[in-house]
Chain A
Amino acid sequence: MNHFIPPFNFHHVFVEPWAQAGGGFAWIALMGFLVATACGLVGNFLILRRMALVGDAISHSVLPGIAIAFLVAKSRSSLAMFVGALAAGVVTTVIIETIHRKTRVKQDAAIGIAFTSLFALGVILISLFASKVDLDQECVLYGEIAFVPLEEMVRVGGVTLGPVSVVRMAVVTLLLAVLVVAFYKELLVSSFDPTLAVSLGINSTVVHYSLMAALSVVVVSAFEAVGAILVVAMLILPGATATLLSQRLPVMLGLTVLHAALSSVLGIHLGVWLNCSLAAAMVVAATVLFMLSWLITSAGRHGFRMVSARTENNNGAETTPLQG
C-alpha cells in the first residue's frame, strides 16, 4: 500500500517531462489537447441537444467498424478506419431508430441494446483476430497516448510536422473548427430552437446527421489515443464544465478549448506522478476541473442567493412602514 501512491517529487513531476529529449511529452500534451478540443466542440452541441448518451453509444459502437476495417484493409490505413467507423456510426443510429420506432422499447433501452451489442461484437473480433488487427483489449478501453511520440514522423517538404496520429488529429480538429465557424448559425439555431430552425429553412435532419458524422470521425481519430470509453469523457466533460460557467455559446466554446488545454497539461503531470495511464489521468484532471467549476458556481449562486435574500429583507423593512 505504501508503494501505491508514489512520493511527490516536484522536479520529477513538473520539470522532467518537458525537459525530456525529443519533446515526447510535448507531443502527448498536444495530442491530448487536440483530442479534447475536437471532442469538446462536438460535445457542446451534443449536450445542448440532450444527446450526450448518443455520443456514448457511438463511441462504443465504432469498435466493430474499426476492427472490420483493419481485417479487410490489413493495415492501419486512416481511410479504411474512417470508412469503417462512419459505417458503424450510421448502423448504430439506424438500429437505435429502428428499435425505437418499430417497437414499444423506449429510446434509452434502444441505445443500451444497440451499442453494447456492437461493442461486444467488436471485442470478440479483436480477441479472435488479435494478431491480425494489431489492437488489444486494453487499447480499446483506454488507448495508447503514451506511444504517440514513438510513431513515425510526417515530413512535408523537409519540414517535420509531427507524429502521424497527431497530424491526423490536428487536421480533424482544424476541419471541425472551420465547420463549426462556417455553420455556426445553423448549429446554434437548430440546437436551441428546432421550430425556429425549420421556419428559417434549416434542414434539421441534415444538421443532425452531419453532427453524427462529425462525431464518428472525431471518435475514430481519437480512438487510438484515448480508447472507446474515455472518448465519452472527452465529449462530455469540457462541454459540461463550460455549460456550468457560461450561458453564451461563443463563451462556452472558448471555455471548452481552455478546459481541453488545462486538462491535457495537468493530466500529464498527474499521470507522471502516479505512474498510471496518461489518457485516464487527463480525464481525471478534466473531472477535477469540472468539480472545481461546479463548486465555484454553486458557491457563487448560493452566496448570491443569500445576498439577494438579504436585500429583499432590507427592502421589505424599508417599504413596510411607508405602506403602513
Chain B
Amino acid sequence: MRPEAPISFAPGFSRLSRAAKPHLPCERETLCSSLRRHSALRCLLPHLLSAISYLLLCIPAHAARIGDISETSLWNQAFRFFTFQDPAVRYALLGSMLLGISCGLLGSFIVVRKMALVGDALSHAVLPGVALGFLWNMSKDPVAIFAGATLAGLIGTGVVHLLKQTTRLKEDTALGLVLASFFAVGICLLTMIQRLPTGNKSGIDKFLFGQAAAIGPGDVQLMGVVTGLAVVVITLLYKEFLVTSFDAQFARVSGFPVQALHYALMLLLAFAVVIALQAVGVVLVSAMLITPAAAAYLLTDRMHRMLLLAALFGLAAGALGAFLSFLGNNLPTGPFMVLAATAVFGAAFLFGPRHGVIARWWRQRNRSARTQRENTLKAIYHVLEARDFQGEGVSLRELAERRRETLKDVSAQAAALRANGHATLHEDGSQVFLTPDGWQRACAIVRNHRLWELYLTNEARVAADHVHEDAEKIEHVLGEETVRELERRLGNIAHDPHGRRIPDLAEMRRGTGAAVTEKSMGYGQDIQGHS
C-alpha cells in the first residue's frame, strides 16, 4: 500500500503534497490575487503610454539615415549616440524601445501559455508577406509590408491549426512545417526581388537580420500605434487574458469568449512580430518575444508585474541592441538585441531571488544541512533513550556507533549543532551536551517520526515493518498543524508501533537527564512548544 494514499484528509496534508510540486500553486495563486490587484496595472500602463506618445510627437519630421555616417571611431560613435543629435539615432532607439515593449508584453502571454514556439513559427511565417508587401508598389512602404506580413503570419497560424485538426501530425511537426515552408517561399520571393532589373530594392534584405538604422519616421509611427494598441488592449482585457491564459476551462465555464480572446492575442502577437521585423529581423524576432518574458517569469509570480518587467527588459534589450549595432557601424541589430535579452535572462537565471539557480541552491543546501542536524539530534536522543536517559553527555564515539559513521563526520555534525545553539561540546571535544533548545528539537523530531509511524500502522493499515523509511523522510517536513491533526486522530497513545515511548510535551519541557518515572501525559490539543 502506498503511504501517500490517505494524504488529503486534512489541510496540513494537502500542504505537504503541494510542497512536492511547487510550480502549480503559484500560478493558481497568481490568478486569484492578480484578479484582485490588476488595478495597479491599469494605473501604471497609461503613464507609460503617454510618455511614449510624448516622445513620438517631439520627433522632427525629417532626418538622415544612420547609414550615411562615414567611418568614425568607437568613442565618436558612442558620443553621437548618447547626445541624440542625429534624428536617425532617435528613430532607431525609439523604434527599438517600442518594439521591446510590445514584444515583452505579448511574449509574456505566450510564455505563460506554453506557446513560445508558436511565436517562433509565426515570426518565420511572415517572410512571404514581407516580400509581397514590398512587391505591392515596389518600395519599402511600412503599411503595405505591415499588412502583408500580418496576413501571412495569421495564415501561418491558421495552417498550423488546420494541420493539427485534419491530420495525425503533432503540434511540433505542424509548427516546424509551417515555419520552414513559409520561410522557403519567402526566400524564393526575396531572391526573385533581388534579381529584378528595376525598382528600389534597398532595405529588403535587412528584414532577415534586422537593421535598426533602417527605421524611418513612418516605421516609428506605426510602431507607436501598435505598441499603444497592445498596451490599451492588454489593459482593458487584462482579466480576460489572465483567466484564459491560466485556466482555460474555468474561463470557458465562466462564459469568457475563449476562442475570440485567443484570436485577439494571436493578432496582437502578429502585429508585435511585424513591427519588430525591421530592427530585429525575421530569424530572431521570436527571441524578443520569449527571452525577456522568460526572464520576467523567473523573477515574479504576479502576472501584472511580469508584464511590466518583460516590457522593461524588452525595452532595455532593444535600446542596448540598437546602441551596440550603432557602435559597430551597420552590424545587424537583431543578434545584438537577442544577446542583450539573453544576458538579462542569464542574470535572472542565476541571481533571481526566488527562482534563481543560486537562491535555489542556497535553499537546498540549508534544507539538507537542517535535515542533517535533525538526524544528529535524533541519534543523540536515541543514545540517551537506550540508557534510560541516565547522564546528560553523549560521547562522540557512541554517536558514531549509532549513526554508523566515522568519528570525523560525527564531530563535524556536533560542531554544526553547536553553531546552531542546539548543543554544547565538552572541553576536550569528546562529549556533546544538548541545550534545552536542542533537546526540544530532538524530542519534536522523534515525536514526529513515531507519530507518523503510528498513524501509518493504525490508520493506513501499513505493516509495522514498512513504516520506518517513510517516517525518516516525513519527520523533517511535518508542520505544526499536521502534527496536531495526527494527535487528534491517534488519541491518547503513548508508544509507537515498535513499542518505544513517544516523547511528549512534558518530557520536552523537562530537559535532558531527568529520569522518566511518572506515567506519560496525554496529548493535549494545545501543543505549541515544538514544530
Q: Please judge, given known A-B contacts A230-B184, A233-B180, whether A106 and B114 are in contact too, CB under 8 Å.
A: yes
B contact residues, total (Cβ < 8 Å): 66
| Nearest B residue (CB) for A112 | B290
Q: Please judge, given known A-B contacts A1-B135, A53-B175, whether A124 and B335 are in contact too, CB under 8 Å.
A: yes
- Inside 8 A of A104's CB, which chain B residues have their CB? 23, 297-298, 355
Interface stretch (choices B162-170, B240-248, B493-501): B162-170
A112 touches B188 (CB 8 A): no
Q: Please judge, given known A-B contacts A47-B173, A120-B339, A280-B184, whether A102 and B357 are in contact too, CB under 8 Å.
A: yes
- Inside 8 A of A99's CB, which chain B residues have their CB? 349
B188 touches A281 (CB 8 A): yes
A105, A229, A239, A281: the one within 8 Å of B297 (CB): A105
A4 touches B360 (CB 8 A): no
B177 touches A298 (CB 8 A): no
A112 touches B196 (CB 8 A): no
Complex CA distance for A277 and B185, rounded to whole angstroms: 10
A116 touches B291 (CB 8 A): yes
Complex CA distance for A106 and B23, rounded to whole angstroms: 11
- Inside 8 A of B183's CB, which chain A residues have their CB? 229-230, 233
- Inside 8 A of A286's CB, which chain B residues have their CB? 181
B138, B167, B179, B283: the one within 8 Å of A294 (CB): B167
Shortest Cβ distance from A246 into chain B, in angstroms? 11
A109 touches B339 (CB 8 A): no
Q: Please judge, given known A-B contacts A50-B170, A283-B184, A287-B185, whether A105 and B294 are in contact too, CB under 8 Å.
A: yes
A43-54 CB mask vs B (1 if < 8 Å, else 0) is 000010011110
Tell me whether B265 is interfacial, beta carbon within 8 Å.
Answer: no
A277-293 CB mask vs B (1 if < 8 Å, else 0) is 10111011011001000
Complex CA distance for A56 and B283, rounded to whole angstroms: 12
| Nearest B residue (CB) for A293 | B167
A144-169 CB mask vs B (1 if < 8 Å, else 0) is 00000000000000000000000000
A298 touches B176 (CB 8 A): no
Tell me whether B116 is interfacial, beta carbon within 8 Å.
Answer: yes
A-B contacts at CB below 8 angstroms, number:
204
B176, B192, B338: the one within 8 Å of A274 (CB): B192
A3 touches B287 (CB 8 A): no
B281-293 CB mask vs A (1 if < 8 Å, else 0) is 0011011011101
Complex CA distance for A229 and B120, rounded to whole angstroms: 12
On chain A, which size bracket covers the interface?
35 or more
Most buried by B among A116, A233, A284: A116
Tell me whether A128 is interfacial, beta carbon within 8 Å.
Answer: yes
Complex CA distance for A290 and B114, rounded to whole angstroms: 27
Complex CA distance for A298 and B167, rounded to whole angstroms: 8
B169, B172, B176, B286: the one within 8 Å of A116 (CB): B286
Shortest Cβ distance from A127 into chain B, in angstroms? 5
Q: Please judge, given known A-B contacts A3-B198, A106-B114, whether A287 and B172 are in contact too, CB under 8 Å.
A: no
| Nearest B residue (CB) for A234 | B180
A51, A52, A120, A281: the one within 8 Å of B335 (CB): A120
A112 touches B179 (CB 8 A): no
A290-308: which have CB < 8 Å to B? 290, 294, 297-298
- Inside 8 A of A274's CB, which chain B residues have their CB? 188, 192
- Inside 8 A of B283's CB, which chain A residues have their CB? 119, 141, 229
Shortest Cβ distance from B280 into chain A, in angstroms? 10
Shortest Cβ distance from B508 into chain A, in angstroms? 39
A112 touches B298 (CB 8 A): no
Complex CA distance for A275 and B197, rounded to whole angstroms: 12
Q: Please judge, given known A-B contacts A127-B332, A244-B167, whether A108 and B181 are in contact too, CB under 8 Å.
A: no
Tell me whether B209 is interfacial, beta carbon within 8 Å.
Answer: yes
Complex CA distance for A102 and B185, rounded to whole angstroms: 39
Complex CA distance for A279 and B185, rounded to whole angstroms: 11
Complex CA distance for A303 and B360, rounded to whole angstroms: 57
Tell me whether A276 is interfacial, beta carbon within 8 Å.
Answer: yes
Q: Please judge, given known A-B contacts A109-B294, A113-B294, A123-B335, whether A56 and B179 are in contact too, CB under 8 Å.
A: yes
- Inside 8 A of A287's CB, which chain B residues have their CB? 181, 184-185
- Inside 8 A of B338's CB, which chain A residues have their CB? 116-117, 119-120
A119 touches B172 (CB 8 A): no
Tell me whether A237 is interfacial, beta carbon within 8 Å.
Answer: yes
Most buried by A among B185, B196, B293, B338: B338
Q: Please judge, given known A-B contacts A3-B198, A290-B181, A298-B166, whether A109 and B334 are in contact too, CB under 8 Å.
A: no
Tell me whether A217 is interfacial, beta carbon within 8 Å.
Answer: no
Shortest Cβ distance from A39 into chain B, in angstroms? 11
B196, B284, B293, B355: the one within 8 Å of A3 (CB): B196
Tell me whether A243 is interfacial, beta carbon within 8 Å.
Answer: yes
A56 touches B176 (CB 8 A): yes
B181, B298, B334: the one within 8 Å of A105 (CB): B298
- Inside 8 A of A47's CB, which chain B residues have their CB? 169-170, 173
A243 touches B169 (CB 8 A): yes
Tell me whether B490 is interfacial, beta carbon within 8 Å.
Answer: no
Tell me whether A235 is interfacial, beta carbon within 8 Å.
Answer: yes
- Inside 8 A of A297's CB, which chain B residues have their CB? 167
Tell me whether B383 is interfacial, beta carbon within 8 Å.
Answer: no
Shortest Cβ distance from A226 into chain B, in angstroms? 10
Tell me whether B115 is interfacial, beta carbon within 8 Å.
Answer: yes
B191 touches A280 (CB 8 A): yes
User: Contact residues of B with A, CB < 8 Å?
Assistant: 23, 111, 114-117, 119-120, 124, 135, 138, 163, 166-170, 172-173, 175-177, 179-181, 183-185, 187-189, 191-193, 195-198, 205, 208-209, 283-284, 286-287, 289-291, 293-294, 297-298, 328, 331-332, 334-336, 338-339, 342, 345, 349, 355, 357, 360
User: Contact residues of A with B, CB < 8 Å?
Assistant: 1, 3-4, 47, 50-53, 55-56, 99, 102-106, 108-113, 116-117, 119-121, 123-124, 127-128, 137-138, 141-142, 229-230, 232-233, 235-237, 239-240, 243-244, 274-277, 279-281, 283-284, 286-287, 290, 294, 297-298
Question: What 10 A-B pairs come out closest when comparing CB atoms?
Answer: A233-B180, A116-B287, A283-B184, A120-B335, A287-B181, A280-B187, A120-B338, A112-B290, A117-B342, A109-B116
Apart from the given pairs A50-B172, A112-B116, A294-B166, 10 other A-B contacts in the complex at a CB distance below 8 Å: A56-B179, A105-B297, A111-B117, A112-B287, A120-B336, A120-B342, A121-B339, A123-B335, A138-B205, A138-B208
Could you list 11 A-B pairs, sorted by A, with CB under 8 Å? A3-B198, A105-B297, A108-B115, A109-B294, A112-B286, A113-B291, A119-B338, A275-B195, A280-B185, A294-B166, A294-B167
